[in-house]
Amino acid sequence: MTMETVSTEQGTENMEYVRRLLRQKQPGFSTALELAVAGVERELLSAAVPPGGFARDFGTADGERVMVAAITRQQFADLAGATRLARTFAFLERVLDADFSTCSDLYSHRDTIAALLAPWFSRCTVADLAAAFAGTSVPWAITG
């Protein structure tokens, strides 16, 4: 099995998870998240473009779970700004020789990105997140 096959299979599994969440039609799913999922699906269907971007669910201070995604350069910049981790992510890009404006590097370093974001999400309530992401391009939704 090649690395490309493993990457494609993992991307497909992640997409199936997000599709199941969307089918549940839970309150809080935004149109932006649905559009982000559609964009990732298009990428997965394209043989020329590997799966990419960042999507993860996080626990919040009020016991909820939220899904957040960053598929575009702007979405990741807004996520970094809203979480006040922009300088940290810029430093990480230099250390890892990565470019988080690309879907492939967001995907490659998704676990590290999630590890940096998790403490911020765990300190926030859903109301805090709504305020932090208001007026941004960050797609997010309550998942349970």
Q: What angle do CA 65, 12, 58 make, to 5 degrees?
A: 15
122-131, pLDDT tens digit by residue? 999 999 999 9
- pLDDT tier at 6 (50, 70, 90 boundaries)? very low
Q: What is the mean pLDDT of residues 2-27?
A: 56
Q: Give the C-alpha distances (Å, rounded to integers) separating 45 from 13, 50, 73, 89.
A: 13, 9, 21, 29
Instruction: Write out pLDDT tens, residues 47-76.
Output: 443 467 999 999 999 999 999 999 999 999
Residue 70: name the closest of 144, 131, 139 by CA.
139
Q: Which CATH number fits domain 3-142: 3.40.1190.20, 3.40.50.1260, 3.40.600.10, 3.30.1540.10?
A: 3.30.1540.10
Which residue in 100, 104, 7, 92 sits closest to 52, CA to CA? 104
Distance separating alpha carbons of residues 1 and 15, to the nearest angstrom: 20
Domain ranges in the chain are 3-142
